[in-house]
Structure 1
Amino acid sequence: MGKSKVLVVGGTGHMGRRIVTASLAQGHITYVLQRPEIGLAIDKLEMLLSFKKQGARLIEGSFSDYGSLVEAVKKVDVVISAMSGEHNHPDSHNLLLQLKLVEAIKEAGNVKRFLPSEFGMDAARMGNAIIPGRAIFDDKMIVRKAIEEAKIPFTYISANCFAGYFVGNLSQLIDSLVPPKQKVFLYGDGNTKVVYMDEDDIAAYTIKTIDDPRALNKTVFLRPPENILSQRQLVEIWEKLSGEKLEKVHLSGEEFLASMKDMDFAGQVHVAHFYHIFYEGCLTNFEIGEGQEEASELYPEVNYTRMDDYLKRFL
């Protein structure tokens, strides 16, 4: 059986560009939706043209032109959405645009797998998340409900903490993505287990699932065993690599949540998500069960990046 043809929506985003690259690397004919709304965003245009040079096929389509979405979907077997779910204000519900994509997939009738924009925490487990952080999970669940009601075959990818945002800065909620030089804030005792994933590995695992019947209509968790670490372990890895000890400042859950009151909406969303990850352990405090799979068990051939190797780039 030949490899599926893939359409990536949101291909110029943080995860999208990696998914395009992984799809091409794994031998799939890969289409990337080129939205006319790109306007004068030259970096995005240059990225799209670089995809074209690598062998991807650009196809114009817009959420404001439903017919163009249907035509784009008709060309492929698999649709992957990597649209940004950032919530910068209370009325930002970008992920709900995917409802138009669901309708287009339903009308086209040829898609054998849809992967909506997920990639973080499992939305199905976050129904009691703190407001305003819960909004993104609520939106994802609205999209899931539409997918399942339309009987569209799906795979949901739960990829946990992106290394680019959580590892280089040792999981600090500050405006920096590089390791702190003097002190580090630890959430609680710093021992809650977290899952850290290199974004390129997330993309590689994602593409592995699309032709795999074991991942059909399931949630696939990316929890490779050597990347299940506490924040304290992450800090210790960096201290060993750098040869420098950091002052450790512990923040209680109450102190951490109290910091929300002086933040804008986006900051409050980030605090809420950090709280669930680092205080409640929402990424690791459950067993993977029925209707779910773990990626490193499905695909042991993927040589995923360990976090000591990831941190070496900052030396």
Structure 2
Amino acid sequence: MGDVNEEKERSVCVSGEKTRVLVVGGTGYIGKRIVRACLAEGHETYVLQRPEIGLDVEKVHLLFSFKKLGAKLVEASFSDHQSLVSAVKLADVVISAMSGVHFRSHCILLQLKLVQAIKDAGNVKRFLPSEFGMDPSRMGNALWPGRETFDEKMEVRRAIEAAGIPHTYVLGACFAAYFAGNLSQMETLIPPKEKVNIYGDGNVKVVVADEDDIATYTAKTINDPRTENKTVCVRPPDNVLTQIELVRIWEKLTGKELEKTHIPADDFLAGMKHSDKAQQAGIGHFYHIFYEGCLANYEVGDDQEASKLYPDVKYTRMDDYLRMFL
């Protein structure tokens, strides 16, 4: 009997069953990629259109570009609970892609409102809250004020689980645009030409992934029974690199060796003293990633690692990613 059930589950995954998806935060940095990935997977994709978008012409045009690709726009507001419930009722799956920037303001309240709307709608088969980075359940000792982000995400998780909403948490990698192209330097997004700062000895393992790949993996989890009520880590094996390894990839591509300055942990953290809250949070996050190795210092089973679950995805290796900067 067990073999029959296992085969049935596998057939659902392989068949690529399509579903109706509502993306909240679809005009955001990762959200727009998730919208496109859901469409590429053939899912019936809805994108929440909030009246608060106002005169942001780029976001308006982005929304209507989704429509040209086949997405459906759904008008709803977080200040109108019933409109939010009505939007949720259109979908089998809801994905929240509201950015971490907003988490440090009022957006945790929006996420909790979304959870309540999903609970009231009563039809959602899967909810994916806004995660995509460090695992908040492992960041209980994170430095303040960066810890606030993780505490808020855990509050959202508790609300999801208390409501009994089926869910998937997708996380585990640094966005390549912010951590790879700049060789993990703060305050720049392009590779340094002469000198590079190295955090500690530079030998702590870090996970980096192309944002489009993260979106693709996310879209694949939404109707996969193997990922229901599970955490899925995006940890492509070839992209588990130390900072030194990342720098060496760039040096090999350019044929030029960079001057390296190693920064001890205490010196790095000293930068928090004269920084504003946002900068302090960023420094804290960099510390946990590059000095403590919070993205790669724990084991992930094959049944929870995205590239193992979906080996058909040809993810971008960092040597290929860095070529755009040549």
Normalising to structure 1: TM-score of the pair?
Answer: 0.96
Aligned 8 A contact 2:25 2:97 in 1: yes
Tell me what 1:282 maps to: 294
Tell me what 2:157 maps to: 144
Against the structure 1 CA distance between its residues 289 and 95, is the aligned structure 2 distance closer, same or farther, given a 3 Å change threshold? farther
CA distance in 2, matches of 1:71, 1:48: 19
Tell me what 1:52 maps to: 67
Tell me what 1:65 maps to: 80
Aligned 8 A contact 2:47 2:72 in 1: yes
Tell me what 2:31 maps to: 16
The reply on whether 1:233 has 2:233 as its aligned counterpart is no
Structure 1 segments unaligned to the other structure (5+ residues): none
Against the structure 1 CA distance between its residues 87 and 68, is the aligned structure 2 distance closer, same or farther, given a 3 Å change threshold? closer
Deviations along 1:138-159, whole A, 9 cap, x unmatched?
0000000000000000000013
The reply on whether 1:35 has 2:69 as its aligned counterpart is no
Report deviation, 1:287.
1.0
CA distance in 2, matches of 1:262, 1:29: 49
CA distance in 2, matches of 1:54, 1:159: 29
CA distance in 1, matches of 2:121, 2:132: 25
Tell me what 2:261 maps to: 249
Aligned 8 A contact 2:172 2:295 in 1: no
The one-letter code sitting in structure 2 at the alignment partner of 1:86 is V
CA distance in 1, matches of 2:140, 2:109: 17
The one-letter code sitting in structure 2 at the alignment partner of 1:68 is S
Aligned 8 A contact 1:156 1:219 in 2: yes
Report deviation, 1:264.
1.1
Tell me what 1:103 maps to: 116
CA distance in 2, matches of 1:50, 1:288: 37
Report the count of equivalent residues: 311
Within a 5 Å distance, the mapping from 1:74-153 to structure 2 comes to 74-86=89-101, 92-153=105-166
CA distance in 2, matches of 1:130, 1:53: 44
CA distance in 1, matches of 2:70, 2:29: 20
Deviations along 1:228-270, whole A, 9 cap, x unmatched?
0000000000011011111000000000000011111111000
Aligned 8 A contact 1:159 1:197 in 2: no
CA distance in 2, matches of 1:96, 1:246: 45
Tell me what 1:205 maps to: 217
Tell me what 1:184 maps to: 196
Report deviation, 1:298.
0.5
Aligned 8 A contact 1:9 1:16 in 2: yes
SS at match of 1:260: coil
CA distance in 1, matches of 2:76, 2:185: 38
Aligned 8 A contact 1:96 1:143 in 2: no
Against the structure 1 CA distance between its residues 87 and 190, is the aligned structure 2 distance closer, same or farther, given a 3 Å change threshold? farther
The reply on whether 1:309 has 2:320 as its aligned counterpart is yes
Aligned 8 A contact 1:95 1:117 in 2: no
Q: In percent, how many aligned pairs have the same letter? A: 67
SS at match of 1:86: helix
- State the 4+ residue runs in structure 1 displaced beyond 3 angstroms: none
Report deviation, 1:289.
5.5
The one-letter code sitting in structure 1 at the alignment partner of 2:310 is Y
Report deviation, 1:87.
6.2
The one-letter code sitting in structure 2 at the alignment partner of 1:200 is D
SS at match of 1:256: helix
From 287, 294, 308, give the equivalent of 1:297. 308
CA distance in 2, matches of 1:59, 1:252: 50
Aligned 8 A contact 1:201 1:305 in 2: yes
Structure 2 segments unaligned to the other structure (5+ residues): 1-11
The one-letter code sitting in structure 1 at the alignment partner of 2:240 is I
